[in-house]
Each structure stands twice: as C-alpha cells, then as structure tokens.
Amino acid sequence: LAAIQEALNRERFEDALGQAESALKEFPNHSQVLKLHTQASRQTEAQNRRRYVEEQLQAAHSFLEKNQYSSAIVLLERALETIPQDARLTSYLKTVREAHETAQGENLRQEAIREANEQVASKDFAGAINTLERALGRAGQSPELIEILQFVREQEAEHQRQERIHSLLSRAQTLLGEEEYAEAYDLLERSQTELQANEVDELLNTVRSQWERFERQRGETLDRARQLMQGNETRKAVALLDASPK
C-alpha cells in the first residue's frame, strides 16, 4: 500500500495503477486497496486525457504555423469527438477558425487588389470598382480596400474628364477649321467653366486670336471694296467680296 501511495504522490499514475491491480489480485476485498485502485485509475485516465489533449494541440499548432488551417480544424474537431467539451481544445479550435477566416479575408482582399490593378491598367474603371465593391461585401470593411476604391473612382472621374476634354477640343478644332469662330469660342468658354483645363484655355486663346485676325482682315476687305465701288470699279469690288472669307 505504501508503494502505491508513493507512486501516486510522485504522479507516476500508471505505475500506481499497475501495483494496485496486482494488489487486488491478492486482496480483492481490501477496502484500502480498492480505494487506491480507484484513485490510480482516475488519475491515470486524467493524465492520459491531458497527454492526448497536449499532443493534439501541438499537432494543430504545427498545422497552423504552416497555414494549413483546414487540417488543424479537422484534427481539433476529431479530438473533441474523443474528449467532448474540453476547454483547451474548444478554445484553440476557435482561435484556428478565426485565423482561418482572417487569412481567407486577406487572400480575398489581395486577389481583389491584383484584379482591380489589372483592370485600371486597361482603363476598365467600372470593372475595377465592381471588383473592389464585391470584395468589400465578402471580406467586410477594409480600410485598404476602401482607400483603393476611392482612388479608382477618382481615376475614373479624371479619365472621363480627359475624354470630355479630348472630345471638346476635337469639336472646337473642327469649327475653327470651318472658320466658325463664334461657335467655337462659345463652346469652349461654356465648357471651361466646368472642366477648368489648361488645354481649353490655350485653344480659347488661339480661337480668339484667329477670330480677331479674321475680323480685321474682313474689315480691311470691306474698306477696299468700298474704295473700288467709289471709283466705279464695281466688278472688282464684287469679285473681291466673293473671294473673301464670309
């Protein structure tokens, strides 16, 4: 009995159980032997449970370090089937699931950023915005995604502005070539209020300069035609007016 008790005191529970079982064969009805056997059996079972839990936790931790979240989750769920409601297993399973969810969210965000960057590079701003908005819906609020989404929206607005400027300049250049100075000037002046583009200012100056030159030349032509008519050279005056810009 002393040897069994000493083994228990030293937490050598399997040794204590083995000795208790041997003692029971000799003294099957001895109350003290029965008591020590029960104690050794319970302590051995508890020790084995702790050892099993520790082994499973170490194995799950190893999977977690390798980012093998699914393997860690399966291992811990099976361990809980063996030892239901174990606090350490339950807690670590929660930790692994949260880490898995975080990693999935990060992977989703990085993939969305990569895809959006490719779409922006090809000027597909609407596609990039859709990609980022879908990622925000799936991964939850992300300051990084929100910042990039704002940047893409600004890029889209600037791209649309540049397209409008290009279209405006093209139309104004056509009118300028047709000597429709008033219409070209009015078109540019009205649009510049909103666009505030240096290119529009430059073309406005060009239109103004050419318009002024046109008006000056037309005035000079009219003066010359009057002089011809006053000298009774009506045919020359008419020819001059016909040949001059209208």
Per-residue pLDDT of 137-184, as tens digits, reads 887 778 999 999 999 999 999 999 999 999 999 999 999 988 899 999
Whole-prediction pTM:
0.58
Q: What is the pLDDT of residue 188?
A: 94
Asked if residue 226 has pLDDT above 60, the reply is: yes
Q: In the structure encoding, which two tokens stand for residue 100, read together? A: 């898995």
Written as one string, the DSSP assignment of 120-156 is HHTT-HHHHHHHHHHHHHHH---HHHHHHHHHHHHHH
Task: Please state the rounded mean pLDDT for residues 205-225.
Answer: 84
The fraction of the chain above a pLDDT of 90, given in percent, is 53
* Confidence band of 51 (pLDDT split at 50, 70, 90): confident
Condensed to tens digits (0 to 9), the pLDDT of residues 57-106 reads 999 999 999 999 999 999 999 999 998 888 999 999 999 999 999 899 88
Q: Give yes or no for a contact between 211 and 185, defined as CB atoms under 8 angstroms apart.
A: yes
* Strand, helix or coil for residue 1: coil
Residue 207 CB contacts under 8 Å (≥ 6 apart), including other chains: 172, 176, 181, 184, 185, 188
Instruction: Yes or no: say if 119 and 125 are a contact pair by the CB < 8 Å rule.
Output: yes
